Each structure stands twice: as structure tokens, then as C-alpha cells.
Amino acid sequence: MKKLTLLSAAALLAVSASAQVEKTYKQKGYTLNFTNTDATLDSALQERMIKTFFEVYPKLSKEYNKNTEKIVYMKIDTAYKGVAATGNAHVRISPKWMHQHPEDIDVITHEVMHIVQNYGNSVGPGWLTEGIADYARNQFGVNNPAAKWSLGEYKAGQNYTNSYRITARFLLWIETKVKKGIVKELDKEMRDHTYTDAVWTSQTGKTLDELWAAYVANPSLS
């Protein structure tokens, strides 16, 4: 009985190994080590994900951080239960999410922006980190309309600390209405660990709360 159990375990390992695909791609001075542990994930979708990486990552690097990592690891991971996560130039993406949302290719744009950000143990707020990443997705994403992803409209009760798209829209409003280039400055200060709330005043002449109050009073981006 024990021998049968061992054989079964070996067989399972063999199946698991055959289902995992690992490939390395090199383009534009960057290397992507791509791993997929879900044999049922559409191969065309995987190719789109790889193409998206090489389309957006160099642009994000040029815009925000030319010293970003040149070697990136991306894993479609059946063991991962979230949507996506990034750390130390490693991106993990849920195949379940991609099965359910095959047009949400720009989850990659958001995640690799975190690599470009490279804030480490930043002195800045987490809501700003995620807001800048969604701002970058909005600016550099390749498939947002098809994914039905947008920054949305301002709604009463929101706050800049809500993070992600809410913060990103606020940042876009400041870029459009108050101070062009502020997102790049915020990103730099977060990476250099020099961020303080004073940056909002030095860049715009208004405190963060004053900017938010002005935004709430007239949140139109046009």
C-alpha cells in the first residue's frame, strides 16, 4: 500500500512538471522569464501577456526609472489565490483571474510599474504607491477599453487615501488642472525616500487636503 502511494505521488509530480512551462524571452534590452503552471490557459492569451510586457515595460522605464530591473520574472501561478502581486522583480498572476477576465491584460502594466517604482521600504504612503501604478496603467495601458477598465468618475465620499483608481484619477486631475509633471516628481521622491507631505505644497502651492477640496468642488478632467 505504501509503495502504491509513492508511485501515485511520483505520477502526480510528473504531471505537474509537464504542465509547467518555462520560457525566456529577450527584447529591447530586457529579459522576461515566463512561467505558466496552468496548462489550460489559452496559449494566445499567454502570448498577448508576453507582448504586453515588452510593449509597456520599456516605456515605463523610460518615463519613470531608467535604472529599473532588466530581468523580470512573471509566473502564472495556480497556487496564487489573489489577482496579482509583485515583489523583487517577480510578478505572480492568478490564472483563474485571467480565465475570467481575458481582456484584463493591463493587470501586467500595473504590476510591472511596481517594479519600475522600486520604492523598497518607502517613507511614503501605500495609497500613493498604488495610485501611481494605476495612473501609469491609465496612461500606458494597451487594452483598458476592451477590459472595461477606466479611472471612473468621482463619487461623493471618496478620499485620496482610497488608493488605486480613485487616487489615480486625483493625480490625473492635478496633472491636468494644477501642475503637469507632479506624478514623476512624486514617483522620484518615493523612490529616493525623500517624500514628505510638503511636496504637494512645494509643487502646487496647496496642501494635499486643499488640493483634494478643490478636486471635490470640480472633479471634471476636461
Please indicate, yes or no, if residue 77 is contained in any of the structural domains.
Answer: yes
* In a shared domain, residues 126 and 203: yes
Is residue 114 located within the same domain as residue 134?
Answer: no
Over residues 193-215, mean pLDDT = 97
pLDDT tens figures, 64-122:
999 999 999 999 999 999 999 999 999 999 999 999 999 999 999 999 999 999 999 87
User: What pLDDT sits at residue 20?
Assistant: 81
Q: Tell me what pLDDT residue 8 has.
A: 47
Percent of the chain with pLDDT over 90: 89
Where is average pLDDT lowest: 2-16, 159-173, 203-217? 2-16
How sure is the predictor about 123, in pLDDT bands with cuts at 50, 70 and 90? confident
Same domain, 84 and 132: no
> Is the confidence at residue 129, as pLDDT, over 90?
yes
| Average pLDDT estimate for 170-183 | 98
pLDDT of the residue at 19: 62
Average pLDDT over residues 200-212: 98
What is the arithmetic mean of pLDDT over 139-164? 98
Domain that holds residue 82: 19-118
Are 217 and 129 members of one domain?
yes
Domain end residue (candidates: 60, 90, 118)? 118
How deeply is 175 buried, as exposed, middle or buried, from its count of CB atoms within 10 A (0-12, 13-18, 19+)? middle
Shared domain for 143 and 91, answered yes or no, is no
Do 222 and 125 lie in a common domain? Answer: yes
CATH number for the domain harbouring residue 114: 3.30.2010.30
Q: Does one domain contain both 101 and 167?
A: no
Instruction: Verify that 98 and 135 share a domain, yes or no.
Output: no
Predicted confidence at residue 119, as pLDDT, reads 96
pLDDT tens-digit profile of 26-72?
Answer: 998 999 999 999 999 999 999 999 999 999 999 999 999 999 999 99
Does residue 54 lie within any of the structural domains?
yes
Question: Within this chain, do residues 144 and 86 fall inside the same structural domain, yes or no?
Answer: no
Mean pLDDT (the chain) is 92
What is the domain count for the chain? 2
Domain end residue (candidates: 94, 118, 142): 118
pLDDT cut 70: percent of the chain above it: 91
What pLDDT is recorded for position 122?
Answer: 74
What pTM was estimated for this model as a whole? 0.90
